[in-house]
Structure 1
Amino acid sequence: MNARWTRRLGAAVAAATVLLGVAACGSDSDSADTTSGTSVVADAGQFPVTVSGKFGDSTIEAAPTRAVPLSPQDADILLSLGVTPVAFPVDAQNRAATGGTGIWPWQQDALGDTTAVETLDMDTGADSIAEKIAVLEPDVIVSTGFWGLDQSTFDQLNSQVPVVHFDTKANGEPWQDSTRKVAAALGIPEKAEEVISEAESNLQAAKDANPTIAGKTYNAIIGDTGGQLSVLASDERGIGQFLTSLGLVLSPYATALPVDADGRGILSYENISEMNADVEFVVSPTGDLGYLTKFEAWNALPAVQKGAVVSLARNTGLPNAIGFPSAISLAWATDQVMPLITDAVSKSNAG
């Protein structure tokens, strides 16, 4: 990879704020139209293939062989399509939650017996990241979930290597649309449909096997943002899309909350008592709910008093698996979370 490419990539990465998984997915007030699908200008499976995105088009001239993802969710999408990334982007958060490997459990499951994998450390300086990407010599960059991508970064990267990216914002489209877009760029659009169909069938099977969940209301507390709480305010993507696919219903109060720039609901502490639902989900760093249990209004909620609370600790990977979903992360998360949900619903019904 030539020095000119490295310098230009370095400038691009320097312009980006690298954020891989700081917060579990909330909701977007400007979520993409899920009926729009992926924009592709080419016959299926033939090259060149052009895919569109928020910042412009990317043309892949020939079947890629070296795909570099810029977020763990992008790595998931590649794995779900049967493509092993050249390297896995990692940061301090997923290293801490995975015993230092930076590889999530569902990713390791997809890798099978493969244990030695290349990683791309996204916590290092911009120049170092640029050098590492250059050494990897990608022929396609996948960035549907990389929050640091802006117009300038896209223009500089895409002039050297085609960048397959989002339509509205990082992690802003349903995982199905992102999977279709990446598969189209790889020349395997039919594989996306297989992957999506199987994943959706598995979710439906889990829903059918647990009919007591259907129609139960829920709230999801995403975290403390200093003086107020971030809560799920939409079921259109991420955690909301996952829980809704299992038959749960987001509380009407949550959907009426004002939202922040990322579409997450904003809840003042004095209004905690309004967050009444059959089941309460709580995201926290390590499962410690102290930031809520210190409030009597939280402790007085019927679901809390009954024990109908599902804890999603970041150090388990669960918030990432369902907040930044993919076909493989959802399959893993369903096995992990469904017993917790059925237990919480049972406790809610017993009251």
Structure 2
Amino acid sequence: MRLRRSLTAIAGLAAVATLLTACAATDTDDDAAAESGGFTTTEATDEFPITIEHAFGETEITEAPERVATWGWGSTEAAISVGVYPVAVAEQSWTVGEGNLLPWVEEAYDEAGIPKPAVLTDADGGATLPYEEFVAADPDLIVAPYSGLTEEQYELLSDIAPVVAFPEAPWTTTWQDTISITANALGRTAAGDEVLDGIEQGIADDAAAHSEFAGATFVSIWDGDGVASIYTEADARVSVLTGLGLEVAPSVAALDSSDGGFYYDLSYEQLDQLDADVVILFAASEDAAAASLAKPELQAIPAVAAGKVVQVVDPVTVSSVSPPTALSFGWQAGWPTLVEDIAAVLAG
């Protein structure tokens, strides 16, 4: 994987690296995988049956799953990090195009010598589900703790296999819970804890290396047409940054109209009320970011006018930190670069 060897954050990925190294050393030829019905490189350590409570009730997993499908964001990487390679994963068409795998996911399969999973069509962000493709994948468990599943979708998927949904609301599960819920559902709680401990230590190391982060306020936005989408503290891409000592600007909560959602749209007329030490601007390209920052309306944000802007651009980079996953924390252009860019802007 493209890990940044020179930064302390890489130490926090020791658990993930150890697991992936073990995966690469395991005999995973196609015939053996076919006989077992799925692709795993570690054994379940928890006792089954396991019951997972979530927003739509509870799901009982009677025995260790062998053919896992994932849906939404982050659960694919969480499963891989504890040694379970899904046989079917959700498409990320905005990030890498139709039918492709995220680069850190593809590298993990390649390094382990495991056949690539089926890519489940998701052209509209989960508004519709490819039920026939789920049936064809023949999963014995569907893991979707960070997703936008509706109750109707959950019920229909449950006719195919047991489904683990989000604990409270769509797209608000923390990155930590995405890992722990997935590991729990797979009967690998101890491995999940090890992965979490490693990543959290890496974040703590980053915080210790940047004392200037403590108490600095930020707002994360995506510029639209006449409105800007403001990400709330319920969004995992926001909450992960608080682990560095950064604080969500009070103006984000003061202007929040989402009723507990992970973002809300703010009219250009109100942007001058976004008071923060730094603005994190997400955009699809450098050109798009430049066009947004040139708008007089965005220049009304005090931090933008002062040049206190961190730009996170291009789909892969945006996705690697929106939010980071069990594998993408080590992606060079993602979390490691974001940490250094925030430090540079605050120091400027």
Judge same fold: TM > 0.5, yes or no: yes
Q: CA deviation at 1:320?
A: 2.2
Q: One-letter code of the match for 1:120? A: L
* Bigger mean CA deviation after superposition, 262-271 or 251-260: 262-271
Task: Give the match for residue 102 of structure 1.
Answer: 100
Q: One-letter code of the match for 1:151? A: E
Q: One-letter code of the match for 1:322? A: V
Aligned pairs for 1:166-185 (under 5 A) are 166-185=166-185
- Percentage identity across aligned positions? 26
* Among 104, 109, 112, the residue aligned to 1:111: 109
Going from structure 1 to structure 2, the CA distance change for 1:116 and 1:72 (only over 3 Å counts) comes to farther
Q: One-letter code of the match for 1:268? A: S
Task: Give the match for residue 226 of structure 2.
Answer: 227
Aligned pairs for 1:9-48 (under 5 A) are 45-48=46-49
Task: Give the match for residue 136 of structure 1.
Answer: 137
Q: One-letter code of the match for 1:102? A: N
Going from structure 1 to structure 2, the CA distance change for 1:112 and 1:339 (only over 3 Å counts) comes to farther
* In structure 2, distance between residues paired with 1:60 and 1:67: 12
Aligned pairs for 1:198-347 (under 5 A) are 198-224=198-224, 226-234=225-233, 236-260=234-258, 262-287=261-286, 288-290=288-290, 292-299=292-299, 301-315=301-315, 317-332=316-331, 333-347=334-348
Which deviations, in whole Å up to 9, do the C-alpha atoms of 1:209-240 show, x marking residues without a partner?
1222222221111231x432211232x44121
* In structure 2, distance between residues paired with 1:221 and 1:162: 36
Task: Give the match for residue 31 of structure 1.
Answer: none
* In structure 1, distance between residues paired with 2:99 and 2:206: 30
Paired residue secondary structure (1:52): strand
Q: One-letter code of the match for 1:86? A: V
Task: Give the match for residue 193 of structure 1.
Answer: 193
Determine if the alignment matches structure 1 residue 52 to structure 2 residue 53. yes
Structure 2: stretches of 5+ with no match in the other structure = 1-44
Runs of 4+ with deviation above 4 angstroms: 124-128
* In structure 2, distance between residues paired with 1:161 and 1:77: 19
Which deviations, in whole Å up to 9, do the C-alpha atoms of 1:26-78 show, x marking residues without a partner?
xxxxxxxxxxxxxxxxxx71112121211122121211111110124221221
Going from structure 1 to structure 2, the CA distance change for 1:204 and 1:264 (only over 3 Å counts) comes to same
* In structure 1, distance between residues paired with 2:177 and 2:46: 17
* In structure 2, distance between residues paired with 1:238 and 1:127: 23
Task: Give the match for residue 40 of structure 1.
Answer: none
Alignment RMSD (CA, Å) = 2.8
User: Is residue 285–residue 314 contact of structure 1 (8 Å, CA) maintained in 2?
Assistant: yes
Task: Give the match for residue 81 of structure 2.
Answer: 80
* TM-score after normalising by structure 1: 0.76
Which deviations, in whole Å up to 9, do the C-alpha atoms of 1:110-163 show, x marking residues without a partner?
33535862322223999993332222111111111231x222322232244111
Task: Give the match for residue 150 of structure 2.
Answer: 150
Paired residue secondary structure (1:289): helix
Going from structure 1 to structure 2, the CA distance change for 1:62 and 1:337 (only over 3 Å counts) comes to same
Q: CA deviation at 1:101?
A: 6.3
Task: Give the match for residue 61 of structure 1.
Answer: 62
User: Is residue 138–residue 161 contact of structure 1 (8 Å, CA) maintained in 2?
Assistant: yes
Going from structure 1 to structure 2, the CA distance change for 1:155 and 1:297 (only over 3 Å counts) comes to closer
User: Is residue 256–residue 264 contact of structure 2 (8 Å, CA) maintained in 1?
Assistant: yes
User: Is residue 268–residue 298 contact of structure 2 (8 Å, CA) maintained in 1?
Assistant: no
* In structure 2, distance between residues paired with 1:229 and 1:183: 36
Aligned length: 298
Structure with bigger RCO (C-alpha 8 Å, 6+ apart): 1
Q: One-letter code of the match for 1:103? A: L
User: Is residue 223–residue 229 contact of structure 1 (8 Å, CA) maintained in 2?
Assistant: yes
Going from structure 1 to structure 2, the CA distance change for 1:63 and 1:116 (only over 3 Å counts) comes to closer
